[in-house]
Structure 1
Amino acid sequence: MKNLIKYCAATLLLILSSCGTSNTMPKADVSSLLQQGEFTFMAEKAHPTNADVINVLNSLPNSSSARVLDLDYGYSLRIEKSEITAELPYFGRSYTPSYDTSKSAYRFKTKEFGITQKEGKKGSTVYTIIPQDRSGVQRLILEVFPQGRAYLSIDSNDRQPISYSGYISKNLEKK
Structure 2
Amino acid sequence: MSAKLSILLLLCFFSFPSIAQQKTKKELKAEQAEKKQKEIEELIDAKTFVFEAQKVTPQGGRLIILNDYTHFLKFYPDSTSCDLPFFGRAFNVAYNGDGGIKFEGKPEKIKVGKKSKNINFQATVKGQNDTYDLMFRIFYNGSATLSVNSNNRAPISYDGIIRAPEDKEQK
Amino-acid identity (%): 27
Structure 1 residue 141 corresponds to structure 2 residue 135: yes
Of the three residues 28, 33, 40, the one matched with 2:50 is 40
- Unpaired runs of 5+ residues, structure 1, are 1-24, 55-66
In the TM superposition, residue 159 of structure 1 has moved relative to its aligned partner by 1.3
CA contact (8 A) 1:112 1:133 kept: no
Aligned residue in 2 for 1:83: 79
Q: How many residues align?
A: 134
Distance 2:55 2:107 in 1: 28
Deviating 4+ runs (over 3 angstroms): 132-135
Structure 1 residue 73 corresponds to structure 2 residue 73: no
In the TM superposition, residue 112 of structure 1 has moved relative to its aligned partner by 5.1
Which range moved further: 124-133 or 148-157?
A: 124-133
Higher relative contact order (CA 8 A, sep 6+): 1
- Unpaired runs of 5+ residues, structure 2, are 1-34
Aligned residue in 2 for 1:31: 41
Q: Specify whether residues 100 and 130 from structure 1 end up closer, same or farther in structure 2 by C-alpha distance, changes over 3 A only.
A: same
Larger Rg: 2
In the TM superposition, residue 133 of structure 1 has moved relative to its aligned partner by 4.9
SS at match of 1:171: coil
Distance 1:138 1:132 in 2: 6
Aligned residue in 2 for 1:49: 59
In the TM superposition, residue 134 of structure 1 has moved relative to its aligned partner by 4.9
CA contact (8 A) 2:55 2:63 kept: yes
Code of the residue aligned with 2:90 in structure 1: it is S
> What is the TM-score of this pair, normalised by structure 2?
0.70
SS at match of 1:164: strand
